[in-house]
Amino acid sequence: MRPTSLVPVFASALDLSGVGPRIEILLKKAVSLPPGVTTPRVVDLLWHLPTGVVDRRAEPTIAGATPGTIATLLVRVLKHRPSPRGNTRAPYKVACEDDTGKIDLVFFHADHRLVERQLPVGSMRYISGRIEQYSDKLQMAHPDYIVAPERRNDLPLLEPVYPLTAGLSNKILQKASAQALLRVPQQAEWQDPEWLRQRGWPDFASAVARLHRPLDAGDVSAGGAPRQRLAYDELLAGQLALDLVRRSQKERPGRQIVGDGSIRARIADALPFALTGTQRQALKDIAADMAAPSRMLRLLQGDVGSGKTVVALMALAIAVEAGTQSALMAPTEVLARQHAETIAPLADAAGLRLGLLTGREKGKPRKELLDRLASGEVDILIGTHALFQDDVTFRDLAFAVIDEQHRFGVHQRLALQSKGGSAGTDMLVMTATPIPRTLLMTHYGDLDVSRLTEKPAGRKPVTTTMASTDRIVDVIDGLKRALAQGAQVYWVCPLIESSDKTELAAAEERHAHLAQTFGASVGLLHGGLPAAAKDETMQAFSEGKLSILVATTVIEVGVNVPNASVMVIEHSERFGLAQLHQLRGRVGRGTRQSFCVLLYKTPLGETARARLEMMRETEDGFLIAEKDLELRGGGEVLGARQSGMPEFRVAEVPNFTELLAAARDDARMVLAADPALRTPRGLALRDLLYLFECDEAVRLFRAA
């Protein structure tokens, strides 16, 4: 039920002249579509922004035209010189002139009839393209534009250049975008007029028009007023949406979950270490949220090895102490099983009844588990996406933990919360990816935040070194010495198998190479293996039956083998900082001194060198995350492109952080004064939320 004025904007791109099924397929490849959208719409063309312009404003005479430049000339067509019969390699030439000189238009493999129709002898034509000198003559090969004087306005003097895909020309995209512009309505202004005036920003419709039909070369730049205006619109829509979701969750009645501390005391007694200060504070915050009458939504972020799992278990125990059930959801089967194995000894000591549900549990064992869950004989259910399935019924789910939150969307959080029935479910989401403040605002603005910043006592720093792939023989010699002392080794590669398109070392090749030296003690783990084979390999490595595990990034999160003390990351220059930090966090978990070797291929680019040197200098994940944001930009840091997390379509601009902070303040002020968005500005902001497809927020204010 979008506003009527926006219906044409969300129509299929097939509604546009010149866009048929073939072009639609090409647009689907070229244009970034939001999650859940499978075919391009008019709005997707509006957000597919040019990356530059071709400036055709230079209109010299032929005598004044400079070879190597783009120029627009008004010429008279003199004569056609077709290529000789039988000689298809010779070009078709058309001689043209003005009062100052002559120029040849050159066409290779041309359709003669088309050229004759476009350039009748004796006619005047505007031609635009690159001027070239061939021998002592000027020529223009395949002019970009040929138009009659009366159609001069069809020739764009500043032509936007779009990101394309094979088979899709800039002209086709330009024509489609020009039609899309005609569907942009004049909306009531949702931005504060004084804010627009200070910034020198145009209204919404003008901003979109100037990006696709630039008046100046600066209009299409990320720092130009049109793009800045739209970037702020998108950020404001996102902040309003997060705030509306957060307020809705907080306002919905929850239940007060208060435990007596008995199970937590038994877990604490079974722990081989004392809780850190930040762990105790996080538990205090979580317990207070659970005891409150409103629903809890909290993010627990902690660096690798900071003890999030113990905090999660203590929180799960509060719900069980209160006579209810709890759940822990992980994004992968490997991680879910790892959690179950880590938690099981502590749960046994505390008398907690665990269940494990992944896609692998089938048939009778699955039915028995679900029956026990429904009757309340399972206190804590650990699992993957399988927890969302309709036949998974809890007797009384009061509390849920979602691990590695950035792999799940808001809608998946809401789906799990609904398992708690009308009373709802308190929720703790946690991540081992330290998140910069900027990204906390953009992707987690609906959550309260607790941070674990200390490592448990006894953890030794990991010694990190850099080495070029030319020294791989030295690295392997070092591994022989480490293995002789009882160490275990991870060797991480970025791909599963070789390809003609890349020189990256493949996991399968590296496994074969290391097996020649170390024999059967080398295992292989990658995402293409069946789940049972992955578990079997991981189990063998955990039990010390394998000395070296060659793996892709499937070991990035959650894998815990305390005896593993060497991490080799091959082609480390191809990984992001956050990912390198996660991988390094797989070692340094036991008493043995641990090492991380960053293997890189020379020559090393400036950004890649900055990443690797940052890894060598610090283990502080929060520092690393801020640096990663600086080097890569907001859309990529949490692996958005891999995880399905929404990317920004317009807002990736140079002063992103500054605009985001302003948008956050603006959203809070608006909703403090007008929580249901019913004032004139509030009603205009509803259109903004529709325009940027903040569907969950739209649903909430429509229900208000």
DSSP 92-144: EEEEEEETTEEEEEEESS--HHHHHHHS-TT-EEEEEEE-EEETTEEEEES-S
Q: Measured between alpha carbons, how far is 433 from 441 in angstroms, rounded to an integer? A: 15
Confidence of residue 576 (pLDDT cuts 50, 70, 90): confident
Do 567 and 441 belong together in one domain?
Answer: no
Residues 535 and 489: their CA atoms lie apart, in Å, by 18
- 422-446 pLDDT, tens digit each: 567 888 888 776 676 666 666 666 5
Range of the domain at 477: 463-618
238 and 663 in contact (C-beta within 8 Å)? Answer: yes
- 43/33 Cα distance (integer angstroms): 10
Mean pLDDT of 333-340: 84
Residues 506 and 388 in one domain: no
Mean pLDDT score of the chain, rounded to an integer? 86
Instruction: Using DSSP bridges, classify how beta strands 448-452 and 463-468 pair: parallel, antiparallel or unpaired.
Output: unpaired
Of the listed ranges 192-196, 209-213, 507-511, 665-669, the least confidently predicted one is: 507-511
Residue 183 banded pLDDT, cuts 50, 70, 90: very high
C-alpha span between 283 and 298 (Å, rounded):
11
pLDDT digits (tens, 9 = 90+) for 138-155: 999 999 999 999 999 889
Specify whether the CB–CB gap between 347 and 313 falls below 8 A.
yes
pLDDT at residue 637, as a whole number: 37
pLDDT of res. 410: 52
Instruction: Judge whether 680 lies within some domain.
Output: no
**Do 437 and 468 share a domain, yes or no?**
no
Q: Which two tokens stand for residue 57?
A: 């404003």
CATH number at residue 614: 3.40.50.300
Task: Give all strands of the β-sheet with 70-81 in edge-to-edge order.
Answer: 132-134, 137-141, 101-107, 92-98, 70-81, 124-130, 145-147
Do the domain assignments include residue 596? yes
Whether residue 24 is found in the same domain as residue 61: no
Over range 447-454, report the average pLDDT. Answer: 83
Residue 527 has pLDDT above 50, yes or no: yes
Verify cis geometry, omega within 30 degrees of 0, for the bond prior to 603: yes
Q: Above 80 in pLDDT, residue 400?
A: yes
Residue 537 in domain: yes
Which of the residue ranges 80-84, 200-204, 644-648 would you say has the lowest mean pLDDT?
644-648
Which pLDDT score is estimated for 437?
66
Report the pLDDT value the prediction gives residue 200, as an integer from 0 to 100.
96
Better-scored residue on pLDDT, 149 or 419: 149
Give yes or no: residues 173 and 69 share one domain: no
Residues 190 and 325 grouped into a single domain: no
Helices within 324-463 (DSSP H only):
333-350, 363-375, 410-417, 437-443
- Between residues 159 and 434, which one has the greater pLDDT? 159
Please, which pLDDT band fits residue 704 given cuts at 50, 70 and 90? very low
Length of the chain: 704
Separation of alpha carbons 698 and 695, rounded Å = 5
Indicate whether 50 and 63 sit together in one domain.
no
Same-domain status, 370 and 508: no
Q: Between residues 88 and 232, which one has the greater pLDDT?
A: 232
Instruction: Extract the tokens encoding 133.
Output: 């000198």
Phi/psi of residue 565, nearest 5 degrees: -130, 5
pLDDT bin (cut points 50, 70, 90) of residue 644 is very low
Q: Which of the residue ranges 65-74, 129-138, 443-452 would you say has the lowest mean pLDDT?
A: 443-452
More reliable by pLDDT, 672 or 535: 672
Judge whether 231 lies within some domain: no
67 and 40 assigned to the same domain:
no
What is residue 495's predicted lDDT score, i.e. its pLDDT?
62
Tell me if 78 is assigned to some domain: yes
CATH number at residue 61: 2.40.50.140
- Does residue 55 have a pLDDT over 90? yes
pLDDT of residue 444: 65
Average pLDDT for 189-218: 95
- What 3-state DSSP class applies to 206? helix
- pTM reported for the whole predicted model: 0.66
Looking at the predicted structure, is the pLDDT value of residue 54 above 90? yes
pLDDT higher than threshold 90 for residue 693: no
Looking at the fold, whether 74 and 35 belong to one and the same domain comes out as no
Q: Are residues 429 and 516 in the same domain?
A: no
User: Could you tell me which residue, 203 or 436, shows the higher pLDDT?
Assistant: 203
Q: Helices marked H in 293-402 — which ranges? A: 308-321, 333-350, 363-375
- Is the domain of 469 the same as that of 408? no
Last residue of a domain, one of 397, 426, 452: 452
548 occurs within a structural domain: yes
| E strand residue ranges, 485-570 | 488-492, 522-525, 548-551, 564-569
Tell me the two tokens of residue 527: 């995402």
Q: Assess contact for 80 and 116: CB atoms under 8 A.
A: yes
pLDDT at 556 over 60: no
Q: Domain boundary residue among 131, 155, 179?
A: 155
678 domain residue, yes or no:
no
Domain boundary among 419, 452, 485: 452
pLDDT band for 184, please (50, 70, 90 cuts): very high
Confidence bin at 100 (pLDDT 50/70/90): very high
Q: What is the dihedral of CA 144, 147, 151, 154, to 10 degrees?
A: -10
Q: Is the pLDDT of residue 464 over 90?
A: yes
How many domains is the chain built from?
Answer: 4
> Residue 457: what pLDDT?
67
Query: CA 601 → CA 491, 558, 596, distances in Å?
Result: 16, 28, 16
Determine what percent of the chain is predicted with pLDDT higher than 90. 57
Position 439 scores a pLDDT of 66
Of the given ranges (239-243, 444-448, 604-608), which has the lowest mean pLDDT?
444-448
In the predicted model, what is the mean pLDDT of residues 582-588? 86
Structural domain includes residue 41: yes
Residue 554 has pLDDT above 80, yes or no: no
Residue 322 scores a pLDDT above 70: yes
